[in-house]
Structure 1
Amino acid sequence: MNTTVNSRYDRPWKSFEEQLELLRSRGMRIGDDASALTWLRRVGYYRLSAYWYPFRVFKHVQDAKTGSIRTQRTDEFVQDTSFSDAVGLYVFDRRLRVLLSDALERIEVSLRVELAYRLGKSDTFAHLHAEAFHPTFRDRRFGGDGETAFDAWQRRYGGLVARSKEDFVKHYHERHGPDLPIWVAIEVWDFGAVSQLLAMTRVPDQQAIAQRFGITDWKAFSSWVRALSYLRNLVAHHSRVWNRNMVSEPKIPSTHPPDWCADFAGQKYLLSKPFVYLEIVRHLVEVVCPGSQWPQRMAAHLAAFPAQTSQRKLTVAAMGVPNGWERRWLADPGK
């Protein structure tokens, strides 16, 4: 079999032992070799590299032609960086994703119900009928093929139904025909489908749904749902969250914003950090599940951010955490 490919990638395959020696040669303290090898076998060098990346040495380099200064990453690690520093961050991030998965499931299910309740009242199959949606929103075109937002949603929905292994889907098809009523169809939607459908609904529907979740600015609320869809995708694919620069920035409501929004007003850079997402999740969980201890569990997790041996100390500040956040998160929900 011909395995030749056209690629400039020239790094050779390395055994787990060779990977460990490479890290050691770059200045990383390994400590327990057997434990480190277990982590490399279980998690993988590439995935763990995202967690030791912040401990790499960076140097300033001047461009010979322009004289401009740029920052360049080296292969070396900051003094006293240990393998356990990266593992600690990995475990912290994994637990963060578990907590987020719990909350996002509650929010997603509640959003599905709200959409089905609003749209199904006037049309049992609203999700299949273009006239049930705002003409401007549904007819937006994206990509080179000019596909409308509504057509893109129909394609996504059709794929979700086709891939579903749920018995109820087969049951409805056999007894009632090819189309699922909206209050049944919601059970095959994912967060992305929810976000796309919400963005196409008529303004009165978006306003009503936003107000159900305590937000008067429906445009901001739509951006929240879109941002949480992005977050849910990261969580579902086990991607790094804790210090990621997020690409889907949520908006701060322009009218009657929740109190916590004051910490982010006028600080756009914080809207691309993970903590504002956590604030949105907390707000919605407290609406969907009043009295939930989820905020306290998340706060306890953030407060237990792992210590490092490296001379470069990382903190939850990299998540865009504002001062005084603990007062809101640790408050007794029953009071």
Structure 2
Amino acid sequence: MEHYLTTDGRPELPPSWVTLELLTFGELIHLVRNLAEREDRNAIAQVLGVNEPLLISWLRSYQRVRNICAHHGRLWNVGLGVYPALPRSRRVAWLDRPEVLNRDQRRAKRLYPVMVSIQSVLTTISPRSTWASRLAALLDENPSVPLDGMGFPHDWSTDSFWSRHLADPQ
């Protein structure tokens, strides 16, 4: 925004992509939810590889995780209170073994499905992202972090959903 204002500043009102960078998660969710036309919400969701209900649910869970982190709360061994909806469509990038979440409802109410949803969105908007590799490295570097308490199955990285993103993207 600063760059926009200090350069030519035309048009007088900044483009939407500049303005969106200034929004909080909560404001972004309200903006998307309050779009009058469902087809507009669906168009946004489609760009991210999901449908509108999933988008809203996932954004709400990202907001919750962000708020927990911002207030130095814990993400392990605790239910989040807001949970990402699980996709039903095979068109959504998701676990190849989704039963790991269906089998254990406690697991579905922890951090793990949020991490899966983030990688799902990244699969669409940034297919060469190294986020999954950095997540795996962070967890490997901190073996005392209780993965089970965050809902991660012990063999989480072997699901091909993860393993294809853990391979070198080059």
TM-score bin, normalised by smaller chain? 0.7 to 0.9
Partner of 1:220: 54
Alpha-carbon distance between aligned partners in 1 of 2:129 and 2:47, rounded to the nearest angstrom: 18
Are the equivalent residues in 1 in contact too, given 2:94–2:116 (CA < 8 A)?
Answer: no
Contact kept? 1:275, 1:319, Cα under 8 Å: yes
Q: Does 1:334 align with 2:165?
A: no
Cα offset for 1:334?
Answer: 3.5
1:289 counterpart (96, 105, 126): 126
Where in structure 2 are the equivalents of 1:1-335 lying within 5 Å? 166=2, 168=4, 176=12, 182-201=16-35, 202-215=37-50, 217-256=51-90, 257-260=92-95, 262=98, 263-265=100-102, 267-307=104-144, 315-327=146-158, 328=160, 329-330=162-163, 331-332=166-167, 334=169
Q: Does the residue aligned with 1:264 lie in a helix, a strand or coil?
A: helix
Partner AA of 2:157 in structure 1: E
Report the Cα offset of residue 304 of structure 1: 3.5
Q: Residue 266 and residue 195 in structure 1: after superposition, are their counterparts in 2 closer, same or farther (change >3 A)?
A: farther
1:301 counterpart letter in structure 2: L
Structure 1 position 291, deviation (Å): 1.5
Which TM-score applies when normalising by structure 2? 0.76
Distance 2:34 2:103 in 1: 29
Q: Distance in 1 between matches of 2:22 and 2:65?
A: 19
Q: By how many angstroms is 1:264 displaced?
A: 1.8
Question: Contact 1:227/1:249 (CA < 8 Å) preserved in 2?
Answer: yes
Q: 1:326 to 1:187 in 2, by over 3 A?
A: closer
> d(CA) in 1 for partners of 2:117 and 2:82?
13
Q: Which residue identity does 1:318 align to in structure 2?
A: G
Are the aligned partners of 2:62 and 2:114 in contact in 1 as well (CA < 8 Å)? yes
How many Å separate the matches in 1 of 2:16 and 2:48?
A: 21
RMSD: 3.0
Count of residues in correspondence between the two structures: 161
The 8 Å contact of residues 45 and 55 in structure 2, kept in 1 or not, is answered as yes
The 1:186/1:294 distance shift into structure 2, 3 A limit, reads same
In 2, Cα distance between equivalents of 1:206 and 1:317: 35
Q: Which residues of structure 2 form unaligned runs of 5+?
A: none
- 5+ long unaligned stretches in structure 1: 1-164, 308-313
Deviation at 1:323, TM superposition (A): 4.5
The structure with the greater share of residues assigned to strand is 1
Query: Residues 259 and 284 of structure 1: is their aligned pair in 2 closer, same or farther, counting only changes over 3 Å?
Result: closer
- The AA in structure 2 aligned to 1:221 is L
TM superposition score normalised by structure 1: 0.42
Q: Distance in 1 between matches of 2:46 and 2:3?
A: 34
Offset of residue 251 of structure 1: 0.6
Offset of residue 234 of structure 1: 2.2
- CA drift of 1:171 comes to 8.7
User: Could you say what secondary structure the match of 1:210 adopts?
Assistant: helix
Q: Deviations over 1:116-153 (max 9, x none)?
A: xxxxxxxxxxxxxxxxxxxxxxxxxxxxxxxxxxxxxx
- Does structure 2 conserve the Cα–Cα contact (< 8 Å) formed by 1:305 and 1:316? no
* Bigger radius of gyration: 1
Change in Cα spacing, 1:238 to 1:170, as seen in structure 2 (3 Å) is farther
- Code of the residue aligned with 1:303 in structure 2: it is D
Q: Cα–Cα, structure 1 residues 306 and 214, in superposed 2: closer, same or farther, change >3 Å?
A: same
